[in-house]
Structure 1
Amino acid sequence: MNNVNFVPGHGQPRVSVSILESGDLVSYEQQVGEDNWQFFWLNYSILQICSCKPEIRSLSGLSDKLVALSNSEQPPHAEIVSWLVERSRTAQARPQAADELRVIDRWLQQNNQVVWLFYDELDAGFGSSQKDYERRKRALEALLAWWLESGTSSRQIVPKIFLREDIWNQLNFTNTGHYSGRSLQLRWEEPDLWCLVLRQALKSSESLRKVLEQKLGVTVDRLNLIGLEQLRQSLYPLWGERMGRTKKAYTYNWVRNRIADSQDNCFPRSLILLLQKAVELEKAFQTEYSAEITLRPKALIDAFPFVSQQRVAEVRNEYPELEQLLARLQGERSPIDENHLAQIWNLGDGELAFRIKDMIESGIFTERSRPKDPPPRVYGIAELYLYGLDMVRKGQR
């Protein structure tokens, strides 16, 4: 990896002074129209590479304005947008940009270097209104289509595009299937979660390390070789086999179900927060639960509301367009039908269906109605979000 250069193609503005914000992207489209995003990404990638690698700026074949913007420590975003608009509007500048990218790629090859161009924050970088959604869709379809059409000819410049699954499913562009062999779903499976917990526990607790090594042969070095069932059993000294002394749910199932959303995506941060809070509560109890088990069920149960609150705060940051909808769910009960949602959200049928779809795809809602059930449709709230939204299940307080 010594010859790999990590360059932000798009992301949070604090990552690079040349990264544009949502208002800049609105301005660009207003000036050039809706069908010129492909030229935006071509020129934007060249600017980002030149900004991050000073030695490239001296290459012949690069435009003076590109070099000037790259040399600036704090380039005004208005100047960047103006440059991008000019390059998109001018017919001569379009092939010039492709030539510049080839010059850069050739230099990287000659110097045995590779650029990984990272595209992140593509969910939040365009704004949160319906118009912003449509703009984001056009821009991302152009980004992915451009890399398929032209970017694959670059030997040393490799895109790494991070997209939420729900956004990917909404995109429609030519040869979408070509990405099937070029994509990877980032997802935490059950063995990954328990390896994470055990790795932390083995490193932080000498007594637990000895117990697991002597009884089950579990060590940090062997974690990735251990099967799922043994991983589950290895957690018994930490939180017991079941959630209580009677035949209740297995603890690992109880934990996993509560750190997962309605799409069955598990969040390791929520898992770590659950355990940290449970340890804090366990230390405050006056009586010892068991000499063989570290955390009692009550510690985990009492810790969960805090985890839910933290996850709701995170999802508000990840999906700013849903913040007002989430706020209006406070005090409501789950499950909830679409008529009541229309009332508390003050939305008509078309906008309501769109927002419900957003809530399902973001993992907050799950549809409870069966296809043959009469309207209104009914939706449940993932337990991970219930406490954080100050909601309750019907029939429970």
Structure 2
Amino acid sequence: METERLDHAAEVKRLVIENARRHRMDDAEVYVTYSSYGGLRIRVVHPALAPHSENDRREKLLSGIDVEIAELLTPEEKEWYGPPFSEYDIPIPAWADVLERSESSEALRFASDLDADIGSPVIITFYSLRGGVGRTTALASTARILAARGRRVLCIDMDFEAPGLPYLFGLSEPTSDTGTVPLLLSLEQGESPDIRDHVVRARGADELYCLPAGRLDVDYAQRLRLIDPESWYRDSPNPLHALLDLAKESSLAPDIVLIDSRTGISAISAPLLFDVSDLAVICFFPHTQAEAGTELLVRSMLSAKTRRSSDTYNISPEPRFLVTPIPPGPSAQQVRDKALTWIDSWLSSVDDRRSAEVGNLQGDELTHFISYAPEVAFRDQVALTSTTHEVYGPIADWLEQLLPQSNQSSIVESVSKSDILNQLDFSTGTAEHQESFFEDFVKTKMSVQAMDPRYPLVIGRKGTGKTAVFRWLFEKAESRPIPVVAPNAFRDRAPWSLGARGFSAVERRLGARNADWQTFWTCYTALAAALSLASENITPADSPFDLTLQDLTSKGSRLDELDIVEAISKMIEDSEAALKASRWLRQMDDILKTEKFLLFDGLDTGFGNDGESRKRREEAVTGLFTFLTEIESRLSKLAFKVLLRVDIWQQLRFENKSHLYGRSIQLLWRDQSDYFKTILKQAVRSEAFKRALGAAGISSDVDQWQEPEVFRAWNLLVGERMKGGKTTFTRNWVWNRLADGQGDHGPRALSQLFHAAVDWEVREEVRSPYDRSYIRPRALVPSLESVSTEAVQSLHEEFPELDGLIHALETVGRTPLDPSEISGVDPEATGELDLALEVGLLAVHEGTVEEVRRYRVPDLYRHALGMSRRGQA
């Protein structure tokens, strides 16, 4: 729509010029723009118009043109009309015009989406449709925090009808000739005032300045009547633009300008929100009366074009939401959920206008909640206290992240970016197939505990590192462990390890001999120990069964599952098999000189994935733990280490399960620093990146890094801040999006993300070079799609019973969603909701685990499922 209007204005100007030339006015001054009412406004100036009447002038110059306002003037008449209006390249930012354009189909881009920093100062408007939501207090508190952080901040009071910002800083009334209103009128008259004569420095702040609205007296009221924001865009110069330029060019040179806007649909709030602001903090409480108006405001902002727009990009003002005051008590969460539902609904309408490179907007990342606090609400002045930092610090973080980043280009240039990109190689496979596994393995407090003999059970969700622990112990432990059950990739070195077919055959043999799984594990573990010790040239104790170990060991790698199944079958034919096998295992324990682990991994998928196989797994693993709890105290050298998926462990029921309380380790990546070390340790395999770290004064010994070194190296690799949307730290963006519904993280997903990001950066660097980090933050956004695809595929493979639910989610196509929406697609799929919560495919969005009103699909899975984020009232 806007493009059509601009094209029309250009065509009209061309016709006017042609008409002027036809009547020998080749050098006529011609100006064309839109009026605040949507029609065209034209001005033509030329001496040859002097002898002609108004009708003659229109007939000569406006032939074939339909126009409402035409100023056809001589140079002398021009003096009476004043300077020419500005041919503004976008429509006037008035409420009527912007609301009319609230549905746009153009690509939505913010200043923060650009790879390059935006120029200072960053302009922020604090706005509320209604009063009483703490807007001015939020602005003043945020300003205090930013100034305390060393930022130069200018606060401008443009709530002209109810000014009050200076009082929150403890400032006295300004003089009658100073303030925003007198300053704007002076600029409108073409004068050249000094903004420093109108600005007051806040007491107790290093670089915090306030521009009051003016002194509230009779003169102020008369001046206020002369303020006509719409006229600023019809004449030149524009006093609002001139005021901000004055601040920028003066010795104040603020980093950030915070503007306190009038509430409601006022004439002054429109240009503040829709033209000059890089970001607007929209303050509201989710009362029904505020919903429609705030929604219309947000949609209008997302269709507006700011002053930063250029020939290359149209830039829209970026919305953030401050929900306040949140009431105390149990209703607080309901208020938060309601607000986020609204915001997600408003933002989801522009999903198709956001490119994959910048990603969609997410309500929870653009919203901050402030609880009601009487000590804040009734305070006359804003003080810099610990409460102020805690409550308003996140808003300051939002704004500070829009400022120009520290220049790292000299570091990037010190080592060839192409060399680093060519050398970076992030693993996308599992731990058992990772060639550089030992170089990349990160020793954390969690992993060290997982390898401690005192903890026989290690549980974790898929991808959290269980097999990494197994591989480290299997290949690096000082005393070579005994792999009783091993993942497929290691079965050539543990040929006695059974797989799905072997366990299925064992189940049949057990049934035929009326034996149980506990007996099987006793016999199987003793047999595996004997075979493993023999392969190390350690003579195991003599078998109490009719077995010839030499026949089995002589087969070497040719030993197969059938050999083991048949050997165990012979063992369980003995009515005292469990007792004899237990004694045999203790005898081997006695001959050992050092401690050895009995390793059990691959149980998650080792039994198969169909319903019958999962039932077999549950019974078999229950038997394993019954065996473990009975025998482990009788062993001194052999220590159990069972690695199991957490959802399987939670489903098990067996006597003495409580004996493992406090003796298990759950692999949880809850520390960002440890988590990001897993990717940085892979990065330092690049010699070029090592040199880049050295140039930045960072050692390449990742295991010795503390948190500051981790984040400095991370920023060098992928940049400090994301672009677009939240404008958040890259580490928080990655952390939030790679979390499953339980809030857990897997290193494999992080490796997959960076593998895809390197490929994307290599392609993009050819088209658009970038020198602030070796991988630009924007590369992470499209790369998330491939990670999500891998995550959903993994669910299909490991949890086939979720296929119906996954299909239902794809069909619904949005999140959050009600249980009824799932049952409407496939009633049987609701039977898997509990499992979906356990494995992190879903999270509770509203309600409790016992009574879920709405579910949420985390970003890790949402993208691959093709689900948009659409709130529901």
With the shorter chain as reference, the TM-score category is: 0.7 to 0.9
User: 1:162 and 1:290 mapped to 2: Cα distance?
Assistant: 44
Q: Deviation per CA, 1:26-50, whole angstroms, max 9, x where unpaired?
A: 4433443597111111111122122
User: 1:328 and 1:390 mapped to 2: Cα distance?
Assistant: 12
**In the alignment, is residue 381 of structure 1 matched against residue 860 of structure 2?**
no
In the alignment, is the contact (CA less than 8 A) between 1:364 and 1:385 conserved in 2? yes
In the alignment, is the contact (CA less than 8 A) between 1:386 and 1:392 conserved in 2? yes
In the alignment, is the contact (CA less than 8 A) between 2:610 and 2:800 conserved in 1? no
**In the alignment, is residue 359 of structure 1 matched against residue 836 of structure 2?**
yes
Q: Structure 1 residues 326 and 71, CA, compared in 2 at 3 Å: closer, same or farther?
A: farther
Q: Which moved more, 1:294-303 or 1:378-387?
A: 294-303
**In the alignment, is residue 292 of structure 1 matched against residue 768 of structure 2?**
no
Offset of 1:380 from its aligned partner?
1.7
Q: How many residues align?
A: 385
**In the alignment, is residue 391 of structure 1 matched against residue 867 of structure 2?**
yes
Equivalent position of 1:48 in the other structure: 528
Equivalent position of 1:81 in the other structure: 565
Structure 2: runs of 5+ lacking an equivalent: 1-475
Equivalent position of 2:619 in the other structure: 138
Equivalent position of 2:510 in the other structure: 32
> Within 5 Å, which residues of 2 pair with 1:176-191?
176-188=657-669, 189-191=671-673
Equivalent position of 2:686 in the other structure: 204
Offset of 1:320 from its aligned partner?
4.3
Q: Of 296, 317, 330, which aligns to 2:797? A: 317
In the alignment, is the contact (CA less than 8 A) between 1:166 and 1:362 conserved in 2? yes
Q: Of 184, 192, 195, which aligns to 2:677? A: 195
Offset of 1:302 from its aligned partner?
1.7
Equivalent position of 1:11 in the other structure: 486
The residue type equivalent to 1:269 in the other structure is R
Offset of 1:79 from its aligned partner?
5.4
Q: Structure 1 residues 250 and 258, CA, compared in 2 at 3 Å: closer, same or farther?
A: same
Equivalent position of 2:500 in the other structure: 22
**In the alignment, is residue 65 of structure 1 matched against residue 585 of structure 2?**
no
Q: Of 806, 828, 839, which aligns to 1:326? A: 806
**In the alignment, is residue 94 of structure 1 matched against residue 578 of structure 2?**
yes
Offset of 1:178 from its aligned partner?
2.8
The residue type equivalent to 2:510 in the other structure is V
In the alignment, is the contact (CA less than 8 A) between 2:761 and 2:775 conserved in 1? yes
The residue type equivalent to 1:90 in the other structure is D
The 3-state SS of whatever aligns with 1:20 is coil
Equivalent position of 1:274 in the other structure: 753
User: 1:276 and 1:58 mapped to 2: Cα distance?
Assistant: 46
User: 1:95 and 1:361 mapped to 2: Cα distance?
Assistant: 38
Q: Deviation per CA, 1:174-194, whole angstroms, max 9, x where unpaired?
A: 332332343222233311122
Q: Of 715, 719, 722, which aligns to 1:236? A: 715
Q: Of 728, 731, 741, which aligns to 1:249? A: 728
**In the alignment, is residue 173 of structure 1 matched against residue 654 of structure 2?**
yes
Equivalent position of 2:608 in the other structure: 127
The 3-state SS of whatever aligns with 1:118 is strand
The residue type equivalent to 1:366 in the other structure is A
Q: Of 570, 583, 590, which aligns to 1:106? A: 590
Q: Structure 1 residues 178 and 198, CA, compared in 2 at 3 Å: closer, same or farther?
A: same
User: 2:618 and 2:724 mapped to 1: Cα distance?
Assistant: 52
Offset of 1:199 from its aligned partner?
3.4
User: 2:626 and 2:870 mapped to 1: Cα distance?
Assistant: 47
In the alignment, is the contact (CA less than 8 A) between 2:541 and 2:584 conserved in 1? no
Equivalent position of 2:643 in the other structure: 162
The 3-state SS of whatever aligns with 1:161 is strand
The residue type equivalent to 2:644 in the other structure is L
The 3-state SS of whatever aligns with 1:389 is coil
User: 2:631 and 2:478 mapped to 1: Cα distance?
Assistant: 23
Q: Structure 1 residues 299 and 140, CA, compared in 2 at 3 Å: closer, same or farther?
A: same
**In the alignment, is residue 301 of structure 1 matched against residue 781 of structure 2?**
yes
Offset of 1:265 from its aligned partner?
1.6
TM-score scaled by length of structure 1? 0.83
The 3-state SS of whatever aligns with 2:736 is helix
Offset of 1:163 from its aligned partner?
0.7
The 3-state SS of whatever aligns with 1:163 is strand
Offset of 1:338 from its aligned partner?
2.6
Structure 1 runs (4+) greater than 6 angstroms displaced = none
User: 2:565 and 2:824 mapped to 1: Cα distance?
Assistant: 42
User: 1:174 and 1:264 mapped to 2: Cα distance?
Assistant: 31
Q: Deviation per CA, 1:72-112, whole angstroms, max 9, x where unpaired?
A: 454564554354345335323332212211222222x2xx2
Offset of 1:394 from its aligned partner?
3.0
The residue type equivalent to 1:65 in the other structure is L
Structure 1: runs of 5+ lacking an equivalent: none
RMSD, matched Cα: 3.3
Offset of 1:301 from its aligned partner?
1.1
Q: Structure 1 residues 325 and 128, CA, compared in 2 at 3 Å: closer, same or farther?
A: farther
In the alignment, is the contact (CA less than 8 A) between 1:365 and 1:381 conserved in 2? yes
User: 2:800 and 2:605 mapped to 1: Cα distance?
Assistant: 8
User: 2:677 and 2:560 mapped to 1: Cα distance?
Assistant: 47
The residue type equivalent to 1:60 in the other structure is D
Equivalent position of 2:258 in the other structure: none
The residue type equivalent to 2:495 in the other structure is V
The 3-state SS of whatever aligns with 1:274 is helix
In the alignment, is the contact (CA less than 8 A) between 1:212 and 1:219 conserved in 2? yes
Offset of 1:120 from its aligned partner?
0.9
The 3-state SS of whatever aligns with 1:185 is strand
Offset of 1:241 from its aligned partner?
2.7
Q: Structure 1 residues 236 and 336, CA, compared in 2 at 3 Å: closer, same or farther?
A: same
The 3-state SS of whatever aligns with 1:264 is coil
User: 1:248 and 1:394 mapped to 2: Cα distance?
Assistant: 21
Q: Structure 1 residues 288 and 51, CA, compared in 2 at 3 Å: closer, same or farther?
A: same
In the alignment, is the contact (CA less than 8 A) between 2:599 and 2:640 conserved in 1? yes
Q: Which moved more, 1:255-264 or 1:331-340?
A: 331-340
Q: Structure 1 residues 372 and 330, CA, compared in 2 at 3 Å: closer, same or farther?
A: closer
Identity score, percent: 27
Q: Structure 1 residues 319 and 71, CA, compared in 2 at 3 Å: closer, same or farther?
A: farther
Offset of 1:71 from its aligned partner?
4.2
The residue type equivalent to 1:312 in the other structure is V
The residue type equivalent to 2:585 in the other structure is L
Offset of 1:294 from its aligned partner?
3.0
The residue type equivalent to 1:268 in the other structure is P
**In the alignment, is residue 264 of structure 1 matched against residue 743 of structure 2?**
yes
User: 1:78 and 1:61 mapped to 2: Cα distance?
Assistant: 19
Larger % of helix: which?
1
The residue type equivalent to 1:125 in the other structure is G
Q: Structure 1 residues 313 and 174, CA, compared in 2 at 3 Å: closer, same or farther?
A: same
TM-score scaled by length of structure 2? 0.40
